[in-house]
Structure formats: structure tokens, C-alpha cells
């Protein structure tokens, strides 16, 4: 196995890296493995949510969001990870809305809330498990060690992710994030849409229904595909990045929308 021991300064990320490639990737992937095993859990009494059970998808989302946000603090130059911390929050908000009684009242005409939760949860964990480990490895061990492990065939990472991380290493922070996002939307997210075509069509139909039904529109159930760059659930139009005429089922349109979200995050965070 490739020895990753080093004589670099203690604050160098490689100094904290395990001794070989397999161990390093195993540590980088440990959060994915732990979160993937999470199942539903009964709530404590007095919890503000209406039901007494937390679905596994929502528990996993909370843990995924925390992992993104922590890595964003550890690796602030990784803008894809930082934006993922926002998007995962909003994904969790969407999951919770699928379980809300008011959302289900009209939405059930178009999509079963359990199916909607499953599809959204699948997208959340699939993106996380596909992209987080290599980014975590780089944060812990450095790009040079990641590249070396990949070249030796001891670690498998998509060529597209490696290309994005190489840009990150070179200081092209926006280019790196855009490269990873292109891979995310075309290679990772698109198969999820193809696994649940009727569900996502139903979600869109439910949103269209809600847009024309004032009681639900007042509660914010219209235009659920547009995302807020915020760390809390909100349908505040000042925080939402409008999807506009983009088709969320089209991977190229999702890439365009991702760029809008990144533009907004850069303003929010002063990047």
C-alpha cells in the first residue's frame, strides 16, 4: 500500500492523514457510511414537528447538511461544498414539506408524500456519497496525495471530480465548483430523475396546483423547485433564487440554475 507518511509541518493537512491510501479514503468515507445506515427514529416528546417519528430521509439529510457545513469550514476555498451546505438545508425543508398535512391535502392528487420523500432523500444521499469523500480526502490529506493514490489505482475517483479538484488546487475556486457541479447534475442527479420520473412530474404538478390555490400559495407551497440560499427554511422571495423558465428535469438547465445559486452565495458570503 502507498505510504502517506510525511515530514511536513504539523498544520499541513497531510500530517493528519492515515498511513496509506485505503485507510485515508476509508476515513474520508466514514461519514457517508455512518449516515447511510441511519433509519427513522421516534421524536422526543414536545418536538415542534407534528408527528412523533423522524423519517430516515430527514435524519440523513440533517447529518449530510452538518457534514457539508463542517467541511465548508475546514476547507473554505471549496465553494462547491459551501454551496452544498445551503442546498442540503433547502432539500431538507422540501422533504419536511412533503410530510406536512397542508402540503399533502392538495398535493396527494398528484404525488404520494412517501414517494416524494423517497425521491428527494435518494437525491440527497446519492450526491453526498458520490462527491463528498474525494473532497474530504483532499481536505484531510491534500490534493497531491489524492492524485498519487488515484494514479496508483488504490483509490477510485471520477475523472471529472479530479479535474475540478485540480482547479481548486490551482486557485480557480469558481471554476473548480462549476466543474464539480457539471458532473453532479449530468452524471449523479440525472439518474435519480430517471429512477423517479412520475414522482418528479407529480411534484411539479402539485406545485402548479398550489400556485393556483390561494390557501396553499399563502403557505409557500408554490414554486418549490426554486431554492433559497439560506440556512433555514424560508420562502422569502428576497432569499429565493428564481428558477424562472428553466426546466428542473433538464440537466443542462440545472447546471445553469446551479450557477445562479453560486452567484447568490458569493453575494451572501462576500466572496
pLDDT of residue 47: 52
Residue 140 in contact with residue 152, Cβ under 8 Å? Answer: no
* Mean pLDDT taken over the chain: 85
Give 217-257 pLDDT, tens digit per residue. Answer: 555 445 557 899 999 998 788 899 998 888 888 999 999 99
Q: How confident is the model at residue 124 (pLDDT cuts 50, 70, 90)?
A: very high
Q: Which of 66, 88, 77 is nearest to 228 (CA)?
A: 88
Q: Is the dihedral of CA 9, 133, 79, 66 positive or negative?
A: negative
- The C-alpha cell of 117 is what? 420523500
Q: Quick check: 107 pLDDT over 50?
A: yes
pLDDT of residue 241: 94
Q: How confident is the model at residue 185 (pLDDT cuts 50, 70, 90)?
A: very high
Top pLDDT among 243 and 125 is at 125
Distance CA 115, CA 2 (A): 44
Give 41-87 pLDDT, tens digit per residue. Answer: 765 555 555 556 788 999 999 999 999 999 999 999 999 999 999 99
Round the CA-based radius of gyration of the chain to a whole number and report it: 20
pLDDT of residue 200: 85
Q: For the beta carbon of residue 217, count every other beta carbon within 10 angstroms.
A: 15
Give 135-165 pLDDT, tens digit per residue. Answer: 999 999 999 999 999 999 999 999 999 999 9
3-state SS record for 85-116: HHHHHHHHHHHHHHHCHHHHHHHCCCCCHHHH
Give 108-123 pLDDT, tens digit per residue. Answer: 667 788 898 999 999 9
pLDDT of residue 4: 43
Q: What is the pTM of this model?
A: 0.86
Amino acid at each position: 500500500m502507498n505510504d502517506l507518511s510525511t515530514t511536513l509541518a504539523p498544520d499541513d493537512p497531510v500530517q493528519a492523514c492515515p498511513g496509506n491510501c485505503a485507510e485515508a479514503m476509508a476515513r474520508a468515507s466514514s461519514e457517508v457510511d455512518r449516515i447511510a445506515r441511519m433509519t427513522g427514529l421516534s421524536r422526543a416528546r414536545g418536538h415542534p414537528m407534528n408527528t412523533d417519528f423522524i423519517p430516515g430521509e430527514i435524519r440523513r439529510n440533517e447529518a449530510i447538511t452538518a457534514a457539508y457545513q463542517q467541511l465548508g469550514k475546514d476547507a473554505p476555498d471549496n465553494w462547491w461544498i459551501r454551496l452544498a451546505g445551503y442546498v442540503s438545508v433547502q432539500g431538507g425543508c422540501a422533504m419536511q414539506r412533503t410530510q406536512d398535512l397542508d402540503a399533502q391535502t392538495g398535493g396527494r392528487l398528484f404525488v404520494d408524500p412517501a414517494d416524494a420523500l423517497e425521491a428527494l432523500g435518494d437525491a440527497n444521499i446519492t450526491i453526498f456519497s458520490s462527491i463528498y469523500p474525494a473532497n474530504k480526502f483532499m481536505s484531510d490529506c491534500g490534493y497531491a496525495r489524492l492524485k498519487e493514490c488515484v494514479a496508483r489505482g488504490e483509490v477510485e475517483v471520477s475523472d471529472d471530480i479530479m479535474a475540478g479538484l485540480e482547479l481548486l488546487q490551482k486557485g480557480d475556486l469558481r471554476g473548480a465548483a462549476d466543474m464539480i457541479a457539471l458532473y453532479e447534475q449530468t452524471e449523479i442527479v440525472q439518474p435519480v430523475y430517471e429512477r423517479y420520473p412520475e414522482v418528479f412530474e407529480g411534484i411539479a404538478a402539485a406545485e402548479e396546483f398550489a400556485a393556483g390555490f390561494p390557501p396553499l400559495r399563502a403557505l409557500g407551497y408554490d414554486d418549490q423547485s426554486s431554492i433559497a440560499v439560506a440556512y433555514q427554511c424560508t420562502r422569502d422571495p428576497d432569499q429565493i433564487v428564481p428558477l424562472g423558465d428553466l426546466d428542473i428535469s433538464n440537466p443542462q438547465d440545472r447546471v445553469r440554475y446551479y450557477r445562479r445559486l453560486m452567484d447568490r452565495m458569493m453575494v451572501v458570503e462576500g466572496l
